[in-house]
Structure formats: structure tokens, C-alpha cells
Chain A
Amino acid sequence: MGISSDKIREATAEALVRAGSSFTPGLRAAYARALEVETDERSLWAMRQFLENADVAERRTLPLCDDTGIPHVLLEVGELAEFGGAHLGAITEGIAQGLKRLPGRPMAVLGDEVQRIEQSQGLSLHSEDVVPPAFSVKRIPGDRVRITVLLLGGGPEIRAKTYRIFHKHRLETVVDEVAQWGIEAVRELGCTPAVVAVGLGRTHFEATSLMLEAMARGDLERQTPLEQQITEKINAGGSGPLGLGGRVSVLATLVNIGPQRASGVRIASVRTCCGIEPRRATVEVG
């Protein structure tokens, strides 16, 4: 018997609500680490506000932030799973149902191409009209389907960057460049402490996909030496939460390195996620 579309729809909606209204255990652990090392009064105040907000959001199933974000779907399909177009439709419907329940911010821009750019026809009044971009799909072993919902807020999108790095055949060159982008981003981003998501690939598409995977699956509790190094370099900048100063501009870094091109160039995608991100939840159906 194939996978039920109803189950997929409901699981997707549940994942969206969970992503938008709760911190993952990893994010809580990252805050706990940060509170242990921070001494600045304003920095401590800001981080405690983030945590208190998360407590209330989780307890009452309220949005963590009024910018409920653009939903992104990362799909992993078991190689033995019977999965087709109807299931993709169920995921889209699940996203819409999740946005109605959360509730998502009604921020879909109305009109044709030009009108949408100029935002001249106003906004839809319906949360569920915020549609996700194309899903990312990967094959996994087994017969189940894993659906991850990410909610991407607008502030980090202003600061995110996908660009080339001339690496000079040294990892250190890439690390320094990424950390420099991070320092500049956390100075401007109002909602720090950040989690820095990094994708390193061959094309802009691949680097951004890898960065999204880092947000979706990266481990905030166990940081690699490379991730720790980037975090420490950015924190040395001293911006602190909300830019108010302190030791913690960045809670953690999530690095995802993909295949690389035979070239002196690496494409890096860096997103300084705000202090409530990554807003992510994964459900498995099968």
C-alpha cells in the first residue's frame, strides 16, 4: 500500500507549526552555552528575551516572530517509497494548512509580475497564500519519506550572500572570507545572536542548496572544529546580540561542503540566520 496523501498533508502542516513556534533542542543548547560565557548586561538581557519568547511561543503555540518566514521544503524520498505527484500536492496543501494554523503572516504580494515587484496591488489577506518555492528532493535508503520545513525570515535575507571565493588552495582563505562576510552581516542584522549557515559548492544554486541543507540538518550541539573556528572569528568582532555589544554575536555555525570544481574558485553561500532560526522541523511518513 502506498503512502497516504492525508498523512503527508497533516504531517507537513504539523511540521510547519512546530518550526514556527518552537526552538529545537539544539538551538536551546546553543543559547545555554552562550549564556555561560556572556557577561555583558545587555547581551544577557537580549538572549534571555529570545529564550523567554521561545518558552511562551512553545507553550501557547504562537509564532516565534511576526515574520513567520517563507516556507521552504526539503524532501527526502526513500528509494523504495511509492511517491508521486499527488504527494507533492499534499505537501503544498500541508504548507497552506500549517500557515493557517500558526498563523502565518499574510504577506503574499498580489498582482502580475510588474505589480508584484512594485507591490502596487497590495497584499493578500490570507496567510496560506504565501507559497513555497520549488522543493529540494533527495533520495534516501528505505521506503519512507522525510519532510523538512524551514521558515526563512526576511532580515537574514537582506544580509545573506552567495559569491565566489578565490581560495588559493587553502581552507584558511575560505574560512577568513566567510568569517569576514559574517562579521559584516552581524553588524547590520538586528536580530542577533545569529546562527551562520554556510554552503560551499560549484555553482550558486548548489552553494545555496547546501546552505539550506546546513540549516535543515546541521548539528547545533556538536560543532566541528571548522564551525567553531568561524564562530570564534565572528564573535571576536564584538557586535553582540542586537548589535548592543558582548561576546556572543554568533551562537553556532553550520557548514555544509559539497563537491568542488577543479578551479581556483569556490562558491560560498552564507546566511546569518537571526536569533530564532533555523526554524526547522522534520517529519517522517511511510
Chain B
Amino acid sequence: MKPVRVETPIPPEAMAGLHVGDFLEISGVIYAGRDAVLPKIVAMSDAELAARGIALEGSVIFHTAVSVAGVGPTSSSKLEIEESIAPLSARGVRIHLGKGRLKADSIRALHAHGSLFAVTTPSTALLTDRILATEIAAFPELGMEALYRLRVDRIPAVVAILHGNSIFEQQTQQG
């Protein structure tokens, strides 16, 4: 199956043509954050986000640290990460990129806000050449767990949860 190319900012209507199981290649400016920073982003007002140049509408949040070791997905089911998925979807985040199964509440919230969850392999070495630029967008004191702004070229992923369907639940039913 040929991958669907996705460029940020992603318009809401782009979701309609996508399905669970689709291969994606994500390009453009995306954000990277995880346990420590995502609750802080959720708690920020629109004005505070705007002051830092953070635009969530149509954005992608990659659940990863950013460090000298590179980037790679962390478990999205970690409490603070999964709890950010509903409120950030409500504020326009279209793709949450990470790994692992999510709870039923998250599946419903993604559906309600027209967002999706995609997974990718921990291909840190492979991604090295696909991360074109990195900069800290907020909370630099968190080090590798700060919110980062990345410019990326064709990050590979698979759509795992969309339109109320989860590829993980399909496996459970079949298994």
C-alpha cells in the first residue's frame, strides 16, 4: 500500500480520506513532547501558546523526547501523555504520533474532535536524516522533555485510531 503524504498544518477535511491501517508519511513542522511537558501545554491559554508561537490547529504532536540520542516514540499510554490527547485534540491537534494501545475514552475523544492516533517504530537511526531542524518551543528547563518544534521530512507511520475505530481493538477481537 502506498503511503499517504501528510503536510502540516493539516486541514480538518483531510481526516475524511484516511482510514485505520493507512500508511502515512508526515512532513512539515511538528511538535515533540511527552510526560513532563504535555500537561503544561494543556494548561496554557491560547494567548500563552500564541506568545510562544505555538500553533496547535492542524498540528502533529510526536510523543518523544528530543536529545543528542535522537528521537523515537515513547509509550503514548503513559498517564500524562494519554490524558493530553483529548484536550489537545479539542484545540486542533490532528495527529498524535506515538506507540502502543490507547483506552476507549481516548478513542472516543479522537473521534469527537476529528483527530487520529498514529504509531511508528523506534527507528531513531533511520529518522536521523528525516529530522531537518529542531528548536525548543517551550519549557527549556525540562531538557530533553521540553516541547520541541521539529521540521521533518516523511516520517513513516501507520494510522492506528481514527473515526472511532482502533486497530488494536481489531487485533483483540481477532486474537
Q: Which residues of A pack against B, CB within 8 Å?
A: 21, 41-42, 45-46, 49-50, 52-54, 56-57, 60, 62-68, 102-107, 119, 122-125, 127, 154-155, 158, 183, 187-191, 236-245, 274-276
Contact for B171 among A66, A238, A274, CB less than 8 A: A238
Chain B residues with CB below 8 A from A243, complex form: 100-101, 119, 160, 167-168, 171
Nearest A-chain residue to B77, judged by Cβ: A188
Contact for B158 among A56, A104, A236, A242, CB less than 8 A: A242
> What number of B residues sit within 8 Å (CB to CB) of A?
45
In chain B between 43 and 64, which residues have their CB closer than 8 angstroms to a CB of chain A?
64
Q: List 24 A-B contacts (CB under 8 A).
A: A21-B125, A52-B123, A53-B122, A53-B126, A56-B126, A63-B124, A64-B122, A66-B69, A68-B69, A103-B68, A122-B143, A123-B142, A155-B99, A188-B75, A190-B76, A237-B175, A238-B171, A238-B175, A239-B175, A242-B121, A243-B168, A244-B160, A244-B171, A276-B122
Nearest B-chain residue to A110, judged by Cβ: B143
Whether, in the assembled complex, B136 has its beta carbon less than 8 Å from a beta carbon of chain A, the answer is no
Chain A residues with CB below 8 A from B65, complex form: 66-67, 105, 107
Query: Can you list, as one digit per residue, whether each of B130-157 has a CB less than 8 Å from chain A (1) or not (0)?
Result: 0000000000011111000000000010
Q: Contact between A275 and B122 (Cβ–Cβ < 8 Å)?
A: yes
Chain A residues with CB below 8 A from B144, complex form: 105-107, 123
Whole-angstrom distance between the Cβ of A60 and the nearest chain B Cβ: 7
Complex: how many Å from CA A67 to CA B121?
A: 13
Whole-angstrom distance between the Cβ of A160 and the nearest chain B Cβ: 13
Q: Contact between A62 and B124 (Cβ–Cβ < 8 Å)?
A: yes
Contact for A66 among B36, B70, B141, B174, CB less than 8 A: B70
Whole-angstrom distance between the Cβ of A130 and the nearest chain B Cβ: 11
Contact for A188 among B36, B100, B126, CB less than 8 A: B100
Chain B residues with CB below 8 A from A42, complex form: 21, 23, 158
| With A237-B175, A243-B167 as contacts: A65 and B126 at CB distance below 8 Å | no
Complex: how many Å from CA A238 to CA B172?
A: 8
Question: What are the 9 A-B residue pairs with the smallest beta carbon separation, nearest first?
Answer: A190-B99, A190-B100, A238-B175, A57-B125, A66-B72, A53-B123, A105-B69, A62-B125, A123-B143
Work out how many contacts link A and B, with CB atoms closer than 8 A.
155
Q: Contact between B168 and A187 (Cβ–Cβ < 8 Å)?
A: yes
Nearest B-chain residue to A63, judged by Cβ: B69
Q: Contact between B121 and A191 (Cβ–Cβ < 8 Å)?
A: yes
Complex: how many Å from CA A227 to CA B140?
A: 46
Nearest A-chain residue to B69, judged by Cβ: A105
Contact for B119 among A60, A239, A242, CB less than 8 A: A242
Nearest B-chain residue to A243, judged by Cβ: B168
Q: Contact between B125 and A63 (Cβ–Cβ < 8 Å)?
A: yes
Chain B residues with CB below 8 A from A65, complex form: 72, 122, 124
Given A67-B69, A187-B172, A241-B121; 7 other pairs, CB 8 A cutoff: A66-B71, A67-B72, A106-B143, A123-B145, A191-B73, A244-B21, A244-B158
Whole-angstrom distance between the Cβ of B119 and the nearest chain A Cβ: 5
Complex: how many Å from CA A128 to CA B97?
A: 29
Q: Contact between A155 and B74 (Cβ–Cβ < 8 Å)?
A: yes
Q: Contact between B123 and A106 (Cβ–Cβ < 8 Å)?
A: no
| With A57-B125, A106-B68 as contacts: A67 and B74 at CB distance below 8 Å | yes
Q: Contact between B121 and A53 (Cβ–Cβ < 8 Å)?
A: yes
- Determine which residue in B73, B160, B171, B174 has the highest number of CB atoms from chain A within 10 A of its CB, and name it: B171
Q: Contact between A62 and B70 (Cβ–Cβ < 8 Å)?
A: yes
Q: Contact between B69 and A104 (Cβ–Cβ < 8 Å)?
A: yes
Contact for A244 among B123, B124, B167, CB less than 8 A: B167
Complex: how many Å from CA A68 to CA B68?
A: 11
| With A68-B69, A105-B68, A122-B142 as contacts: A190 and B75 at CB distance below 8 Å | yes
Q: Contact between A238 and B174 (Cβ–Cβ < 8 Å)?
A: yes
